[in-house]
Structure 1
């Protein structure tokens, strides 16, 4: 989960609804004031996250000249979703992202953070023609493999299916607050985190949690997609082990890029540095010509 440092939206970043042929999605959108945008960047958040995980990054990317759209996935925070478990397979979530890119005109620069990287990958495999690039930010090739992590995720999914989501959040918060290094956020941010978590469709959050325990490795398929790829992570990312992310990059034929002084949420920790790495990749046409 990413923790915003402020809830104040930068000038030019505004809430909008993105209408697609698969439904409506809540977004934070920014469009350059002058000239024609260089293109569209589509940002997909991760587990227990939301579009707000990208707020400062949306602003930075827009300043570079890109129309930038951060989304809530189906059933996530301010985007509605059904209670049917089958609606939250990676295939369904990926199809949503394809529909988003089409609604935005296609050829999006696709960025998936953490679990959002698995969804972004699925979207590219579903229809690579509507994406110019894919950037996997602090993401991995498949489900987690650490037994303690898997057990914790399974318990959370069980709780979401059997307890009020507010109670599940309180239990999670109690657990997290006892973790070494935990720092309580400001009151307004703490209130937002609770509102965001409890705003999820419980079935959505339970099923997304399960995808982190059963997602298949499709790195080889992605490598053959024809879409340009980027892998980047924070220097102290504590999601997927760094050697796992770096091995995924090698399998994709790229080198993992490291964002200094950042953990699992570089878009919040180091938005300027993250934006710079992204736009350099978006503009890296010479390497495209030589590959």
Structure 2
């Protein structure tokens, strides 16, 4: 009898990760958004939360679009927004699918999916001219992919703490691709895994307690772990080499801003940038981890605005 019970428990533990997505309750997320009156845009795959700053009635400079990291949310740009607005830019940031207060679609999280978000956002906000895209980590990959597909809509790329540089010691993506194993790992250990990564993004997380506070709120809604696994499986989070190579064959102005202490995608990957993207400007910032724009917001802002001022 004990053997039968043990077998049944094991069977449930093995099957649960595969069935869980069908039973996700997203109504609390919908209600949370409604209570706070957040700005939303709809596309074929779901609803995206976004926020704008600056004077959108008087078009002066191009719009700056901020695209957060793999494990982030739009508030990670708060240390940088005011400075960009003072420079006269209209600014918009949004939550990627599966993150923050955006929907968690039950479909592969490919670059096509993330491109769809930006297309819908651009249409909703009636952005008719070229945009400056500013990415963080995986947001750099999304920004570059969008620029490669819509070069006429992108004026420049500013890529902070960029992802997409393979490292032999990082086997996470290969592990995630394995059938069932990835579901099992992320279902039972996804939250501590993602939280441990968050803890490594800043040199001193205690200096920015809001970073973890926001994350814990958004992680409490179903679908975050599933979206993270799907993104690792279907998007080039850890290896965007081919995309960087294609970017190097364009004339799109691009800069990379790297924290010298970045442990997620270390600064030594600048050698790949120098080789594949000859037009790229590389800026190194001291005392900064992966979220360089949060660790050193003033230096990051200065680098971005200096770069933007030089673009005609």
Which TM class, normalised by the smaller chain length?
A: 0.7 to 0.9
Runs of 5+ unmatched residues, structure 1: 1-13
1:218 aligns with 2:243: yes
After TM superposition, the structure 1 stretch with the greater mean CA deviation from structure 2, 218-227 or 113-122, is 218-227
Partner of 1:268: 294
CA distance in 2, matches of 1:21, 1:279: 34
1:196 aligns with 2:218: yes
The equivalent position to 2:161 in structure 1, one of 138, 147, 159, is 138
Contact 1:38–1:66 (Cα < 8 Å) also in 2: yes
- Deviation per residue, 1:195-239 (Å, 9 max, x gap): 223435443211223333454522221123332111111222222
RMSD between aligned alpha carbons?
3.4
Alignment of 1:1-291 (within 5 A): 16-18=39-41, 24-32=47-55, 36-85=59-108, 88-104=109-125, 105=127, 106-140=129-163, 142-147=164-169, 149-151=170-172, 154=175, 161-162=183-184, 168-170=190-192, 173=195, 190-199=212-221, 200-210=223-233, 211=235, 212-213=237-238, 215-253=240-278, 254-285=280-311
CA distance in 1, matches of 2:240, 2:276: 18
CA distance in 2, matches of 1:249, 1:197: 37
> CA, structure 1 residues 152+32, in 2 after alignment: closer, same or farther (shift >3 Å)?
same
CA distance in 1, matches of 2:197, 2:267: 25
Contact 2:175–2:182 (Cα < 8 Å) also in 1: no
TM-score, normalising length from structure 2?
0.72
- Deviation per residue, 1:233-282 (Å, 9 max, x gap): 12222221212134314421223112233221122112122112112111
Partner of 2:12: none
CA distance in 2, matches of 1:258, 1:283: 19
- Deviation per residue, 1:167-213 (Å, 9 max, x gap): 631465479879xx876678765443222234354432112233334
After TM superposition, the structure 1 stretch with the greater mean CA deviation from structure 2, 216-225 or 32-41, is 32-41
> CA, structure 1 residues 72+135, in 2 after alignment: closer, same or farther (shift >3 Å)?
same
CA distance in 2, matches of 1:240, 1:228: 22
Contact 1:111–1:117 (Cα < 8 Å) also in 2: yes
SS at match of 1:61: helix
- Deviation per residue, 1:42-95 (Å, 9 max, x gap): 01111111111111111221121111111111222211131112xx11233234
> CA, structure 1 residues 35+129, in 2 after alignment: closer, same or farther (shift >3 Å)?
closer
Larger Rg: 2
TM-score, normalising length from structure 1?
0.76
